[in-house]
Chains A and B, each alone.
Chain A
Amino acid sequence: MATTNPLGINVEKYKYGFFEPEKYVFKARRGLNAAVVNEISHMKSEPDWMRAFRLHAYEHYTQRPMPKWGADLGTIDFDNIFYYIKPTEKRADSWDDLPPEIKRTYDRLGIPEAERKFLAGVGAQYESESVYHNLKDEWEKLGVIFLDTDSALKQHPDIVREYFGTVVPPEDNKLAALNSAVWSGGSFVYIPAGVRVDIPLQAYFRINAQNAGQFERTLIICEPGSYVHYVEGCTAPIYTSDSLHSAVVEIIVKEGARCRYTTIQNWSTNVYNLVTKRAVAYRDATMEWIDGNLGSKLTMKYPSVYMVEPGAKAEILSVAFAGKGQHQDPGGKVIHAAPHTQSVVVSKSISKDGGRAGYRGLVKIYDGAKGSRSAVRCDALILDDRSRSDTYPTMEIDEEDVSITHEATVSKVSDEQLFYLMSRGVKEDEAMNMIVRGFVEPIVKELPLEYAVELNRLIALEMEGSVG
């Protein structure tokens, strides 16, 4: 039977390969080999095509060299990571079913409060697997699917199989291959044609065990004319050794649909955050990425939008804050592959205490993408002399009938601004805070209120002690 899946991977080839059923343990061991990949798939009782997909990806991962550009990834000890940890026996359907320890963690994150405010379905990722997922009844009636990706694979195998790995194939890059091999959890969102989900869908993600690699896989499908705003908030406690977060997010925005994907992440400062996020936008569709990057030791993340049909639009807004010992290397990619496509990229980076933050981006306009427009703006704010900002804008423009703008500014908090605020009675640290908050305001105002508040609070925390 079925020898290939839509990705062209030979399922039969991997059907019995590397299969070691007797070696299951509750906690997967450190490090990765084909047997671990097999175990993960077996423990999840996945269909053969997914196991084949994983093994194929693993093979590619072993052969693909580590990226040499950007930040130094050589310090990650890939053999010292747990690639899969199952936190509880079964998923909880209501808040009351959650184990007390997990509840306490979420209490600190404010999830129950979010529930009380009738926010959208809450999906929370504890270690590697979703333990709690909820979706409002009315959306279920409309045919909206919001599940963790593992459950989606079981309950909606055909939809998952049709789209999984089509936007970010395992061969895309080494870390995408790694994620494809060992992925666990993440969100699956399906919005039927014409359905508008007016309240944001929210999921909290956490890394909770030391050396727990977190490889969630998110897939969002917006059928024609639909709308969804998906919000992902990440926080992680402090650990003593390095952790890796390597997610893949794939989004398909069909004709006339609009998808907004908002991330506020605050990984602890030893986490390597290497994420592949990509969307495909079809005719007159709109894809918006809003990305707030605080925390982590290193973040490399370039949300991208492939505009493949006329009239598609892309917007990428990002904020990065790099403190002591941190390197934030965010950015974005907009690919104009059809006429009359439009993109806007706004990046704001802040560095202090020797941190390094910046922007790395690509604007690509293919020959024939007539009448396309792109505007890129990146602003960097450097808070002291030890910190740095780097901007790497790349433009590949193969069509003449286009309009492109690029603006970049690098600034320091000016003494005049500080003096002005202080001359009204505002203390120096608060004045500094106000200026930094104002700097990121164009992005913060795009966030749902509770996330705007959280981001401002996180920035205030980062700013503590910055006035000497």
Chain B
Amino acid sequence: MADLEIKDLTVQVEDKVILKGANLAINKGEIHALMGPNGSGKSTLANVLMGNPFYQVVKGEVLYKGEDLLAMSPDERARKGLFIAFQYPVSIPGVTMSSFLRTAVSARRGYEKELIPVGEFQKLLKNKMAELKIEPAIVTRYVNEGFSGGEKKRAEILQMAMLEPEIAIMDETDSGLDIDSVKVVSDGINRMYEHSDRRMGILVITHYSRILHFIQPSYVHVMFDGRFVVSGGPELAEELEQTGYEGIKSQFEVIAAEVASEGAVRRAGKVFWVVH
């Protein structure tokens, strides 16, 4: 059984069905990329995995290390090592990054009544900020308050580094970043991956293949309209870069029709495609 196993996940917001039976398995140590056009359900998947109450799961299940993830509260999921770097992190006025980080790290490390000792925390924070090339002044500011787009993304990565998750989901962490920032953020993620002795599982959700030049995924998945439609290796991302989603979509429709009549697995051109 995979460490994170998503089975037939169907999700709606109010009356609109957004995920229409998604299936995916991620193991620790694996880097997956999830691509797809706007509105295909990528962010919904990320939010549902973290337990955002805005979304209602109507069908399916998610097992995290064999446990029923959907039965856990968001904080419980986080304490058990799941992490999401949000696409649009909200601001928390009046709460400094450093007090927030200290509370979060304490929770993740199982401190119940008290917080992680301040000296130990400061040392950890200092090291992580240096590794990620983050301006120390950011931790004296209020959480995401008045942050630029790039600062928000870097702050998410800092949180990820501090919490040392087992499985991390990066929800369009690259969008809105210039190429230098994408490189810095990617270097940070790669370093965390190495730092975990390649034991961290990562799901990189992205609209563009740009970030995948810096973070090398072993698996690439494409979503259309609430379903995983194709999965493959890194070359699938390249293919997408060439043809665009429209190109994939037209090929997918042809293959889907063939699969419907012939069977589950197809090879199309250079790309090995699995139809879910």
Contact = CB atoms under 8 A, between A and B. Distances in A.
Contacts of A421: 92, 100, 104
B94 A440 contact: yes
Nearest to B53: A415
A417 interface: yes
B38 interface: no
Given A434-B95, A434-B100, A441-B95, A420 B90 contact: yes
Interface string A404-428: 0000000000111101111111111
B107 A438 contact: no
Interface string B96-109: 00011001100110
Interface residues of B, number: 29
Contacts of A415: 53-54
Interface string B72-93: 0111011100011010011011
A362 interface: no
B78 A425 contact: yes
B95 A423 contact: no
B94 A423 contact: no
A422 B92 contact: no
A427 B78 CA distance: 10
B50 interface: yes
A42 interface: no
Contacts of A437: 94-95
B163 A424 contact: yes
Given A419-B74, A434-B100, A434-B103, A425 B94 contact: no
B219 interface: no
A435 interface: yes
Contacts of B89: 420
A420 B92 contact: yes
Nearest to A444: B94
A439 interface: yes
B107 A427 contact: yes
A419 B54 CA distance: 10
A357 to B, nearest CB: 17
A416 B51 CA distance: 11
Contacts of B93: 438-439, 441
A173 B158 CA distance: 57
Nearest to B86: A420
Contacts of B90: 414, 416-417, 420
Interface in A435-450: 435, 437-442
Contacts of A353: none
A430 interface: yes
Contacts of A431: 75
B173 to A, nearest CB: 15
B92 A425 contact: no
Given A415-B53, A427-B107, A435 B95 contact: yes
Contacts of B78: 422-426
A428 B72 CA distance: 13
A425 B163 contact: yes
B265 to A, nearest CB: 37
Contacts of A438: 92-95, 142
A110 B142 CA distance: 31
Contacts of A417: 90, 92
Contacts of B77: 423
Nearest to A419: B52
A422 B47 CA distance: 12
Q: Which of A415, A416, A419, A420: most chain B Cβ within 10 A?
A: A420
Interface in B120-177: 142, 159, 163
B260 to A, nearest CB: 39
Nearest to B77: A423
A425 B54 contact: no
A423 B51 contact: yes
A422 B92 CA distance: 12
A438 B53 CA distance: 23
A442 B94 CA distance: 7
A419 B104 contact: no
A427 B110 CA distance: 12
A441 B94 contact: yes
Contact of B75 (A426, A439, A442): A426
A425 B79 contact: yes
Contacts of A424: 75, 78, 100, 103-104, 107-108, 159, 163
Contacts of B79: 425
A424 B77 CA distance: 9
B94 A430 contact: no
A425 B107 contact: yes
A441 B100 CA distance: 14
Nearest to B106: A425
A26 to B, nearest CB: 47
A426 B95 contact: no
A428 B73 contact: yes
A437 B103 CA distance: 14
A426 B143 CA distance: 14
A426 B92 contact: no
Contacts of B142: 438, 441
A350 to B, nearest CB: 12
A423 B103 CA distance: 12
Contacts of A426: 75, 78, 103-104, 107
Contact of A434 (B84, B92, B163): B92
B147 to A, nearest CB: 13
Nearest to B145: A438
A416 B50 CA distance: 12
Contacts of A419: 50-54, 74
A438 B73 CA distance: 23
B148 to A, nearest CB: 18
5 contacts: A424-B78, A426-B103, A430-B103, A434-B100, A434-B103
Interface of A: 414-417, 419-428, 430-431, 434-435, 437-442
Given A423-B84, A426-B107, 4 more contacts: A416-B54, A426-B103, A438-B95, A442-B94
Q: Which 7 A-B pairs have the closest CB atoms?
A: A438-B94, A441-B94, A425-B107, A425-B78, A424-B104, A438-B95, A422-B74
